[in-house]
Structure 1
Amino acid sequence: MITHYLFPAIVERNTLSGRYIVVFPDLPDLICQGETPEDAFHQAELSLGMHLYHMEKAKKQIPEASDSANWPKREGAEIIMLEADTLMVRQDVDKKSVPKCIMIPRWLKELGEENDVNFLEILRVGIMDELGIPD
């Protein structure tokens, strides 16, 4: 499962508002802005992660990042590369715990309870380990 992405974007200053606009030609529904170049960069990085996370949840195809070398851009515009980790977004957004029923032999349940075993923590850590997700 891919969770780490790198996308090019175009950042330019809007001459009317003075704000910095960031567009992602590979993701036409995603446009961000900020008061300063740093603010625009930060907002674009956050928005990219959320946008890709929602695409994953909706089971939409995430496009491959295109080669930005031949993109048309206005004078003063720059191409920047932005990273997004949808696993980190998922961990920040989906914090709600949900029930998951499992069956184990009675003897194992009783032995675990006698030894104060935290069944839920073992299950959570085991699943994360199986998926290669650091704790």
Structure 2
Amino acid sequence: MRKATYFAVFEPSEDGGYSVYFPDLPGCVSFGEDFKAAMKGAEEALGLHLYGMEKDGEEIPVPAEAPMVDPDTAAGYLVAPVSVFPDMVKDELDNKRVKTTLTLPAWLKEAAEHSAMGINYSRVLETALKDILGIAQR
């Protein structure tokens, strides 16, 4: 299983929390009210950022051996490696259930609701779409 590790810079804020940025991944930022929350947010941000880059066909940068800390970073910053498993993030996000609205004739909805079959609209639509698109059940 692939593992990606990048250095994150944890910059202390006046209220006791931490801002987080990844020097190798511009735009990948997070925040936490304490170090533990900041680390959790950093892991989440890293996973989502790499997922988005892969989905957009962008080249994933090779992690630096030592981070290039921005000279404007507040005193007292910490640098720590943050690791994620991109394939697990992808699997979780690609299989996340999303809500969609559909329109049916009123008589069909009423018939489904009054049937003894216990119709699950989501399951019926998912099965029909997989069948129409020729996608094997997973």
TM-score, reference length from structure 1: 0.65
Q: Deviations over 1:59-80 (max 9, x none)?
A: 1011011122664564311110
SS at match of 1:68: coil
Change in Cα spacing, 1:69 to 1:49, as seen in structure 2 (3 Å) is: closer
**Partner amino acid, structure 1, of 2:11:** E
Q: Deviations over 1:60-117 (max 9, x none)?
A: 0110111226645643111100011111111111116773538xxxxxxxxxxxxxxx
Check whether the contact 1:8–1:79 (CA below 8 A) recurs between aligned residues.
yes
**C-alpha contact 1:68 1:79 (8 A) present in aligned 2:** no
**RMSD across aligned positions (CA):** 2.4
Regions of 4+ moved over 2 Å: 69-75, 96-102
Is contact 1:24–1:30 with CA below 8 Å preserved after alignment?
yes
* Structure 1 stretches lacking a partner, 5+ long: 103-119, 125-135
Match of 1:101 in 2: 134
Change (3 A) 1:87 1:8: same
- Tell me the number of residue pairs that the alignment of Structure 1 and Structure 2 aligns: 103
Once the two structures are TM-superposed, the CA of residue 28 in structure 1 deviates from its matched residue by 1.1
The 5 A counterparts of 1:7-22 are: 7-15=6-14, 17-22=15-20
